[in-house]
Structures are given as C-alpha cells and as structure tokens.
Amino acid sequence: MNLLSLLIFTPMLFGIIILILPSSMRASFRYLTLAATLVQLVISVIIYFNFKTGTTFAGINHEDQFQFIQKLPWIDLNLGSLGKLQIEYFVGIDGISVTILVMSALVMVVAAISSWEITSNLKGFFALFLLLDMAVMGVFCALDFFLFYTFYELMLLPLYFLIGMWGGVRREYAAIKFFLYTLFGSVFMLLVMVGLYMSVTDPATGNHTFNIIQMMNPNNYVQGSVFSTLNNATILGLPARMVGFVVLFIAFAIKVPVVPLHTWLPDAHVEPPTPVSIILAGVLLKIGGYGIIRICMGIFPDAAVSSAFWLGLLGVISILYGAFNALAQRDLKRLIAYSSVSHMGFVLLGIASGTAEGVSGAMMQMISHGFLSSMLFFLVGVVYGRVHDRDIYNFRGLASLMPRYTVYVMVAFFASLGLPGFSAFVAEAFSLAGAFKSSSVNGLLPQWMAVCGAVGILLGAAYLLWTLQRMFFGTLSLKGGEIWKTALTDINFRETAALLPLALLALALGIMPSLVFGKINDAVLAFVSFLQLK
Amino acid sequence: MKDLLPNITPQLNDVLQSLHFFVPELYLTVLFIVVLVTDLLFGKRSAKMCRVVATGGVFLVILQVLSQQVALPKEAAQRIFNGMLILHHPAISFKLVIDVLALILLMYFAWDNKLKQHTKGLSDLYSIVMGSLLGLHVMAMAVNLLSIYLGIEFVSIASYLLAAYRTGNAKSTEAGLKYVLFGAAASAVMLYGISLIYSFTGTLDIFAPQMQEGLTHINGVSSTFAVGLVLLGIGFKLSSVPVHFYVPDVYEGAATPVTAYLSTLPKIAGFALLVNFITPLIIFSTDAKWAGINIRLVLSAAGIITMIAGNFAALWQNSVKRMLAYSGIGHTGFALMAVTTFSAAGLSSLAYYLFVYGLANIAAFMMANFFENNEDITNIGDYKGLGFKYPVISVAFVVVMISLTGIPISAGFTGKLLVFSAVYDIYQQTHDVWLLALMITGAITTVVGLFYYIKIPLNLFLKRVEIAQNDILKSTNLVVFSSAIALLLIIFGILPHLLTKVL
C-alpha cells in the first residue's frame, strides 16, 4: 500500500466509521478523530524519515525524481475527436511537499485536540473535519491537475459548513464570503486547466494529459495550441501564457491571501470555532503558497519571471498592510488573522525573488507560520473558551492569573515577531536575504522591497509586544470581574499537550533549520535553476 | 391521379422498412393505448394499475432503444419515413436520456400529495405522459420541417394538459392558460418561419439540396428572418431567452412533479431538435456564397444572454420552484454553449450535461416536494433549521445543489468540464471570440449560481431555530429515491466513464 494514499485516505476511513456509528456513541467521535490524525502524523513522520535527498531526488520537473509515487488510471473517457480524456490518480512528493505534509499532519492533530470545545452536532462536525483533512492532504500530494483541482474544491464544502454551522455571530456572512471568493478564483482556474489539458500531450501515449509535470515541459505542448511556448498565442489581445499565469495566480493569491484579495480572511478566521481557525491559518493558507510554487510558476515559469516584480510588490504590500491593520485591531483573533496576512507576504516576497535563499525562506515561512499560527489561534481559543470574550482591552495583567498560559503566549509572540532562535527568524531572514540578493543575481526585485519587508518585521514586533503589554502585564483587571477571574483557570493537560509540541518545534526549527532545509534544499535548487532556464 | 399510382408501392415499401427502425416508438404508441384502455376499464381504481403498466412499458422501451444503439453502426444515419425522421447515434442517446428520466418521473408523480388528492385521479396523467413521450421521441429524430412541427406540437399539447392538471387549483389553471397562450404564440411564430422557408425553397426537408439552393440564393436578411423564427419556436421549448417569460409562472403554478417533467424532458428533446435543425445550416454556411444566418453567432449570443438572465434572476427568488425555474434557464444557456461547438465531442458532452442536469433537477424537485408534503412550505426562507429534523434528505439536497452548481466531486462538475473541453477545443482551432466569451460567462455564472444554490444548505443547516418534532414522517419513498439519485450523482462524478459508455 502506498504511504501517500494511506495518508490521504485514512481520514476518510475514520470519517465513514463516524458516520456509521450511532449518535449514542457520540462521545467516541472526538477520540476517533484524534486517532485518525495521530495515525496520519505517524505516517507522515515515516515518510519524512524515509524521504531520500540528493540531486537525483530533486523533483520539480522530473517525474522520475518524485518519491512515494502512485499512479493509477482513473477516468478514461473517449471523446471522439478530442481523443481520450486521460485522468490519472497520480500522487507523489518532492522536497517542496514533504515538509508541508508533516506540518499539516501535526496541525491536524492540534486541531483535533482543540475540537474538545465543540459540543453540538458532533457527528457532522467530525465527519466534515475528516473530509477536509483528506482533501488537504490530497492537494499537497496530487500531481495530476484534475486530481489537484478535485481535492482543492473538495475543501470548500466542508469548510463552508464548519464555519457556517459552528461559527460565531457573523458565521453565515463569513462562510459565504469565503466560499464565493475561493470559487471565483477556482472557476477561472478550471478554464486554464482545460486550456492546458488541450495544449499538452503525454509524449508516451500521445493523449492529452492533466499531468502537472508534463505541463512543465515546453516540448509537450502541441504545435499551435493556446498555451504553447512557441506559438505566442493571444487571448483577448493579451499573451496567452501571461493570461494563464495571472488567472492561476489570482486563484492561489486568494488562498494565500495576498492584498487586495485578502478581505475574506479576517471574517473567515475570526468567525469559526478554534479548530477550524487553526486549520484555516495553519494549513489552508499554505495551499496558496504551495500552488504558486508548484502550479503557477511551475507551469508558467516564463510568465512568472517576467512578472516577478509585481509579485514581490504584492508581497511587500501584504506585509505592510497586514501589519498596519493588525496594529489597529481590538479583537485578539482579528489581530492574529491580520498578522497572518503580513507573515504570508514574506512567502510571496521570497518566492518572487527567484533565489535559492528566497525560496527556501518562503518554504520555511510556510512551515513556521503553520506551527505558530496554529499556536496563536489555539491560545486565543483558550481565553475565548473560558470567558467568551477576546477584546484586548477587556483583559489586563493575565500573567499573574495564568502564568503557564502566559509562557506559551510569550513563546508564540516572540517566535512570531522573529526573535532569533525561533523558526520565523530563520524564515524571514532567508526571505529578506533572497530579496536583497535578487537585484545582484537575477535582477528580479529591487532592494527597497527587502527594506520594506524588514520594516514589516518591526511593525510585527510592535503589535505583538504592545498586545502582550496590554493584556498580560500590569495589575490584574478584567471586564468581567470576579466571574471572569474564577473562569480564567490556567491551561490544563489537554491544552498543554497541544501547545508544547508546537512550541518545541518552533524552537527546534529555529535552532536546527536543517530539519526543513535538509529536505527541501535539492528541490529548491532545482526549482531555482528551472526558473533561470527561462 | 393515375400518374401517382406507381409511387404507391415504393412509398409503402419505404414505410414498411422504416417501421423496423421505429420499434421503440411503436412500443410507445401501443403503450399509450394500453394505458388509456386500462384507465377506461378500471375506472377510479386504475391509477396504480396505470402506473405499473406505464413504468413497465417505458422500461421495455428503454431496452428497445438500447438494442437500437447496439444494432446501428457507429457513424450510420438512417433516414426513415421518406426522410421525415433520422435515426443516428446522437438521436438514440437523447432518446435514452429522455426515457430514463421519464421512468424516474413516472414513479415520482404519485408521491406528490396534492397531485394524488386530485379528484380526477392520476390515470389520465399517465396516458398524457405516454403520449408526450412519443412526441419527445419524434422531436429527437425530426429532420423535416413538418415532423419538427408535429413533434413540438405533440409535446406542447401534452404539456399544456399537464400544467393545468390540477384544475381545482387557481394557480395551476393560471399556469396552464399562460402556457397555452405563450405556446400557441410560439408555434404560430414558428409556423410562419416554416412557411417562409417553404416559400423560399419549395421543400420541407432540411437536408434537401433545394433547401441549400434556396436559402443561399435568397436575400440574407430574409433567410435569417425565416430561420430565426423557427429557432424562436425551438427556443420556447428550451426556455431560452428571449422566449423564457412563461417559465417561472408555469413552473410555480404546475404541480411539483409536473414541473420536474416540464423542466427536463421537453428541454432535452428541444436540444436534440435544435441540433438536428442546425446541422444542415452549418453545412450550408460553409459555402462561400452563404449570406444567411450565422448560426454560431446567434446561438452564442443567445447562450450568453440566457446564462446571465437565468442566473441573475434566480438570485432574487424566494420560492424554491421559481429559483429552480430560473436556474433551469441558466442551464439552458450553458447547454447552448455545447451546441455552438458543432462537433461530435460537443454533442456527447451535451447529452452528458443534459442527463446529469435532468437527474439533479428532478431530484431537486422531489426534495422540494418532500418539504411541501411534510411541512407545507415552498419558500426557501421556511427551510430554516429543517436540516436537523430531516438529516438524510437535507444532506442529499446539498449534494444535488452542489451538482447543479458544478463543483467536484459531482456529476455536474464533470458535465461542466466536458462542455468546457469541447468548446475550448473549437476555440483553439478557430480563435472565435464568441466562444471565449461563452466560457468566461459560463465561469462567472457558476459563481453566481453558487450564490443562490447555497441558500438551501444555508437555510437547512446554518440558520438556527427551534424545531418542533413531528413523529409521522411522510413520503419516505421520496427520501429514499432522491437520496439514491444524489448518491448516483457522486458516483457519476467520480467515475464518469460509467455513463459516457452508454451515451
């Protein structure tokens, strides 16, 4: 049995068990979900340790260099003049995906632990949770565009219900906004996908194919097809490949999210219950970054290089705009949501630099942000779960009331603002180094972008430290008075079990970044040289 | 008179030979009479009997159509009855789609409480449906202006009767009357077009050389006008803009199962007819001297406007049936996209798309019917919180809505993908801006579609209200049946080749 398929379909198996079990056994659902995510974590760790490194396993545009491949014929439609519709169940990973998989599996465990706060409609919640889990893993493993798209869209419906049914006051608005935004991006992605399919043939069979890796090879494009590199075809008067790139970029930029396509995020991250916020911030945002690397730039490297300046600019804008917005928030959860926008800007900046440092930094930032944002949302959930309030000004001096909690908050905050020794420092330093170096190596980004990015780190320190000061230091003063004081107990064993691994990993990655870099390095180098060929 | 005598023998021979290719329709004719006689013999108690006979009979018809599909060589096109009808694989596919959906509908009619309580009983309904089914078959095969008109009228008259079936109900009567008035106007317009074409060309056979001769040499505006009038008549059956005005009122007024019938079968047959009718025009227009109608332009424009009008109008609807009516108009526009390709791939994607649409739409009406039976509600707003009271059917409802929107993994998505692929292929060859505009409109209206389709899951699951439990669950067969269809939609979404093999 292929490990990746096992990883993808384990949640589905558990989900079916949950659906079959009678509602009288609802107490067991959360344990089953936790078991599913733990099994996934074990599988992903096994994959991580068995993942081979070296230039012969770089991946990116060489199908034979991917690992844990499983390739099965799936849909075989005979379409007459169009030839055969060849869709494969094709999964495999390279350095770009392997670390994200481990990170996602761990975040899912944390999300499962934080699902203890869910009390209503358990069967529906956990079934949807596991469906979402399956789709997320599938997205990171799929190497067939159709399969990728299927998993990508499959995430929407569970999320819609998870936000909409278990969310806060404005849950309906947040859920539909999220759904419409993402679908808007992805229906146009569908058109580009069909266009690519019509343009690319598999050299082995001569059929059109959805294989993403085949789409990266210019020789596989049919002469005269819309997206052919030689053809210079136009769509509505614009170069076709640029149009394809921009459409795919918009679809993924919505996910990242990149300013100005980020307006769904504050709502969609604030309204849902903690586990869903954790998955959204920890895993789903990375699908945007991953998609940009694997699909957007992988398939349209020429267009990506020529628009690198704009990508970098959008990254810088996201960093600064997100940070300024975070400064202005009263709601702690909203603040963290905007800090996500700011931090994900580094991913885009790093990728746009087109340098090995920048891309490694972007990858590291995705992993690091996955752990840290899950931790932050979990921490907000702790307070909100106890007193149902998260307005920064309603709390003061929490450090004396909840000392252990405050320790984790400080770890998460200092790690997020880029204190050396934590993962985010490595990530942001590498992204900025890449952006700085870009002007001398490939001339894609001007140096002022790196400077602006650095200012973003400063702003990050400002809003996080300010929040720390406002909420945790000083004399104890709570809006809810004595009732809140008794309600705000320090974190218990379950919460520690979720927070401790995250904190340790943030620290470990800061001290030993090779845990990530060692696995991604070959792929990143291959990716950078792949871009330079253009 | 004497001069014509020698013609009789070959004519008769032709008819006799044609009968061989007309077996499913002969079955339908016999079935129509049998159902009618059953009704007469058994009187008031005959409804159940008629239902059994009708479903059993349609099942036999499906087998016959399948055997036709196997027997007929792949690229063959058999003209029968002096060129009145044509039998080829696209026509067989459409007949198959129509019959399978008809089978589902026949089982469904009796499950609507309001229709069941009607004093007339349901026996007449079954005979009318049998008659209309024969007409639908004729529509799918018609290639002569006379048989085209005959087929359309056959179906129209049956549809008028069905729409007004609940005579005691004012809304149903209104629906029937509106349908008759609009339908009569549409047929009159179409007849005018037919007579103009006949006067230009001297023939009714659309494939005849005289037809090409006549239409090519006539003034471009005149021939465009004449063909346009016929297209309007067909468009009425498709519920395409600009002849879609009757749709919401008729759909809302008619009994729900009848609406399910009206929104699927005549539309699918209408598409089959449209394909038949435009095929010669496409061939004619390849001629350099052709100054008449640019059929791709007309269909693309109609498709774009229909998609936009249908989907945006659906946004403002409160009644489930009206919403589905407008969304059906939107789907017509999307299916027109497949017609504009004029390619074999486009045709097969059209058949697939329409079948999946038909399945999902019938299931949607079944479920709307379920809530009508149990809670006596028709407005989307009243669905609030019912998802927790009726979990199974509500989940199925969500699946069906997803399929209608066209999101993976559902058959609706595969249908959309196939249509897009077929259009893209032609776009790649011709770089026709209209095709690109069609695809972009199709993508945008998908997002618009989500906005109103999601209202149903939104109300079922997201709105929280206190629900009074009632113990008696009515219409369990609707639950079972519509859930089965929802499951089928997912299966066809994951494994579409199961379906395309047959179509």
Per-residue 3-state assignment (H helix, E strand, C coil) for A248-317: HHHHHHHHCCCCCCCCHHHHHHHCCCHHHHHHHHHHHHHHHHHHHHHHHHHHCHHHHHHCHHHHHHHHHH
The pairing of strands B77-80 and B85-88 is antiparallel
- A146 close to A161: Cβ distance less than 8 angstroms: no
A30 touches B at CB < 8 Å = no
Does the residue A130 lie in any domain? Answer: no
Residue A383 to residue A386: CA distance in whole angstroms = 5
B222 Cβ neighbours under 8 A, 6+ residues apart:
B196, B200
B447 vs A187, A198, A226: nearest CB: A187
Q: CA torsion sign, B175 to B181 to B185 to B187?
A: positive
Q: Tell whether A2 is covered by a domain.
A: no
List of E strands, A156-219: none
User: Hey, is the C-beta of A16 within 8 angstroms of any chain B C-beta?
Assistant: no
For residues B280-292, average pLDDT = 82
pLDDT (0 to 100) of residue A326: 92
Q: So what's the pLDDT on residue B1?
A: 66
CA distance A209 to A206: 9
For range B450-478, the mean pLDDT: 80
C-alpha separations of B131 from A301, B32, B45, B95 in Å: 60, 6, 21, 15
Question: Which is nearest to B499 in space by CA: B387, B363, B392, B358?
Answer: B358
Which residues of chain B does A233 touch, with a Cβ-Cβ cutoff of 8 Å?
A: 431
Q: What's the rounded mean pLDDT across residues B212-219?
A: 85
User: A271 CA to chain B: closest CA distance, Å?
Assistant: 13
**pLDDT, averaged across chain A:** 89
β-partners of residue A93 are A67
Count CB-CB contacts under 10 A for residue A501. 18
pLDDT category, B348, cuts 50, 70, 90? confident
Asked if residue A376 lies in contact with residue A391, where contact means CB atoms within 8 angstroms, the answer is no
Could you read off the pLDDT of A97-126 as tens digits, one per residue? 999 999 999 999 999 998 988 888 888 899
Q: Which amino acid is at A136?
A: V
Q: Which of B424, B454, B461 sits opposite A165 (nearest CB)?
A: B461
pLDDT tier at B333, thresholds 50, 70, 90: very high
Q: Smallest CA–CA separation between A136 and chain B, in Å? A: 14
Judge: A172–B463 Cβ closer than 8 Å, yes or no: yes
Q: Which of B388, B409, B462 sits opposite A171 (nearest CB)?
A: B462
The pLDDT score that the predictor gives to residue B71 is: 86
Cβ pair B428:A226 closer than 8 A:
yes
Q: On the CB side of B490, how many CA atoms lie within 13 Å of its CA?
A: 11
Please answer yes or no on whether B344 and A81 come within 8 Å at the CB atom.
yes
Task: Give the phi and the psi of residue A272 in degrees, each rounded to 5.
Answer: -65, 165
The pLDDT of residue B249 is above 80: yes
Q: What is the mean pLDDT of residues B3-15?
A: 84
Q: Is A77 on the interface with B (CB under 8 A)?
A: yes
Structural element, H or E, at residue A193 = helix A171-199
Residue from the list B417, B443, B463 with its beta carbon closest to the beta carbon of A188: B443
Find the distance separating the first CA and the last CA of chain B, reported in whole Å: 47
| Contact in structure between B51 and B122 (CB atoms under 8 Å) | yes
- Where are the extended beta strands (E) located within B42-103? 77-80, 85-88
Does residue A260 have a cis bond before it (omega within 30 degrees)?
A: yes
Q: Give the H or E element holding residue A238.
A: strand A238-239
The answer to whether B105 contacts chain A (CB < 8 Å) is no
* H-state helical runs in B72-208: 89-108, 113-116, 123-141, 145-163, 170-201
Residues of A in contact with B500 (CB under 8 A): 77-78
Residue B287 has pLDDT above 90, yes or no: no
Please name which of A321, A350, A333, A195 lies closest in space to residue A258, comparing C-alpha atoms: A321
Strand, helix or coil at B319? Answer: strand
User: How many CB atoms are located within 10 Å of the residue A111 CB?
Assistant: 28
Annotate A139-159 with DSSP letters as a single string. Answer: HHHB-BHHHHHHHHHHTHHHH
Nearest to A269 by CA among A200, A369, A167, A195: A167
Q: Which domain holds residue A516?
A: 307-534
**Which residues is A89 bridged to in the sheet?**
A72
Q: How many domains does chain A have?
A: 1
pLDDT, one tens digit per residue, over A153-165 is: 999 889 999 998 8
Which of B420, B388, B396, B368 has the alpha carbon at shortest distance from B482?
A: B396
Q: B319 CB contacts (<8 Å, ≥6 apart)?
A: B252, B378, B379, B380
A187: closest chain B residue by CA = B443
* A156: contact with B, CB 8 A cutoff: yes
At residue B82, what is the residue type?
N
CB atoms < 10 A from the CB of A110, how many? 25
**What is the pLDDT averaged over residues B76-104?**
90
Average pLDDT over residues B165-188: 86
Total number of residues shown for chain B:
503
Cis? peptide before A501, omega within 30° of 0: no
Contact check, Cβ <8 Å, A194/B424 = yes
Residue B491 confidence (pLDDT): 92
CA distance A425 to A418: 4
Sequence-distant (6+) residues with CB within 8 A of A490 are A401, A402, A403, A404, A405
Determine whether B71 is exposed, middle or buried from the number of CB atoms within 10 Å of its CB (0-12, 13-18, 19+): exposed
CA dist B142 and B148 (Å) reads 5
Where is A374: in which H helix or E strand? helix A356-387
Q: Which residues of chain A have pLDDT under 50?
A: none
Q: Is residue A124 part of a domain?
A: no
Q: Which of B135-144, B220-229, B321-330, B461-470 has the lowest mean pLDDT?
A: B461-470
Asked if residue A441 is part of any domain, the answer here is yes
